[in-house]
Amino acid sequence: MTQSRPLPRCADLGRGCPPVLRLGLATRGNTHLEATDVASAVRRGVNYLNWCGYDNGLARALRERLIDPEQVVVAMQLEGRDARSAAEELDRSLRTLGTGRIDVVTFYYVEQEQEWNEIAGTGGALEALEDARSRGRVRLVGLTTHQRKLGAKWTESGKLDLLMVRYNAAHRGAEQDVFPVTDRLKIPVVAYTAQRWGALRKKTRDDPSGFTPPPAREWYRFALAHPSVSVVLMAPANRQELEENLMLLEDWRAPDAEEFERLAAHGRRVRESAGAFP
């Protein structure tokens, strides 16, 4: 085994946010994390929390003060495209979380130029978030997208503080389309779907004999190894998956050259066997 290189543990997102562990925790509508599970993760150092909008364990952990809101960075995705609906959605979210600030708000799945034009134009949702940012209710305004080249273009506008994109061993286009731009602009990048919706943990018909796909934490390790990625989101379905993922904290390092190539090779096989996807 070749020697692995050091892996930066924390990232600075700027705008007054505390430093964050680069392994973040996200909730989904179908996850079953309790408030105590989220609090346990925070005690172990996880402090970038991406909330999915439901009144779930993450929301309760904040509202019930099981975690200190000043020690975490809370992120959410905003669906509103115009200023009024965005402001109303933000107000509802603040009430649900029982807080006066959501640190990171990204426009949710902006996939077409016309969507961005609506958001960034007169009366668009960006106006509401810029106002909220000026009043301390939001720290960073970002955007979530699958469209890498468009996301990079919109980042060039100077209107975004953060970009949230898909990045994993089967889906590495951000290395060419996004990271050179975000590096130059010094914009933080949050990566999601590090397991490609679980496909990277499954076999393909082209796997070499005796190959066993690595567990989830190794795919997080792969994404974290890229220096342009600020935060990689995990989205465990339950406490057991959370505990398995957090084992990475006890072995915090980049993959060595052999491990990286093994992960990258399986990523290529998953991509080839999955059919066409951008």
For 111, residues 6+ apart whose C-beta sits below 8 A from its C-beta are: 145, 146, 147, 150
pLDDT tens per residue, range 195-211 = 999 999 999 999 999 99
* Residues 152-176, mean pLDDT to the nearest whole number: 98
User: Would you say residue 192 has pLDDT above 90?
Assistant: yes
Task: Answer for the pair 105, 61: CB distance below 8 angstroms, yes or no.
Answer: no
Q: How confident is the model at residue 2 (pLDDT cuts 50, 70, 90)?
A: low
User: Would you say residue 62 has pLDDT above 70?
Assistant: yes
Return d(Cα 105, Cα 19) in angstroms, integer. 17
pLDDT tens per residue, range 221-255 = 999 999 999 999 999 999 999 999 999 999 999 99
- Percent of the chain past pLDDT 90, that is, above it, reads 94
Which two tokens mark 179?
């990271």
Integer-rounded Cα radius of gyration of the chain? 18
For 245, residues 6+ apart whose C-beta sits below 8 A from its C-beta are: 23, 216, 217, 220, 234, 236
Q: What pLDDT is recorded for position 29?
A: 80
Put residue 196 in one of left, alpha, beta given phi > 0 → left and psi -120 to 50 → alpha: left
- Percent of the chain past pLDDT 70, that is, above it, reads 97
Q: Higher-confidence residue: 4 or 262? A: 262
Which two tokens mark 84?
């009024």
Q: Is the dihedral of CA 174, 175, 180, 183 positive or negative?
A: positive
Average pLDDT, the chain: 96
User: Would you say residue 278 has pLDDT above 60?
Assistant: no
pLDDT tens per residue, range 113-143 = 999 999 999 999 999 999 999 999 999 999 9
Return d(Cα 214, Cα 200) in angstroms, integer. 8
Return d(Cα 56, Cα 69) in angstroms, integer. 16
pLDDT tens per residue, range 76-111 = 999 999 999 999 999 999 999 999 999 999 999 999
User: Would you say residue 22 has pLDDT above 70?
Assistant: yes
Q: Does domain 10-273 have CATH number 3.20.20.100?
A: yes
Query: What is residue 16's DSSP assignment?
Result: T
Q: What pLDDT is recorded for position 3?
A: 67
Return d(Cα 10, Cα 252) in angstroms, integer. 11
The full set of domain ranges for the chain reads 10-273
- The single residue listed with the structure tokens 């939001």 is 138
Task: Answer for the pair 35, 61: CB distance below 8 angstroms, yes or no.
Answer: yes
Q: What angle do CA 67, 70, 75 make, to 5 degrees?
A: 80
Q: What pLDDT is recorded for position 274?
A: 78
Q: What pLDDT is recorded for position 31?
A: 77
| Strand boundaries in 52-101, DSSP class E | 73-78
Return d(Cα 211, Cα 92) in angstroms, integer. 48
* Residues 188-200, mean pLDDT to the nearest whole number: 96
Q: What pLDDT is recorded for position 110?
A: 98
Q: Higher-confidence residue: 274 or 14? A: 14
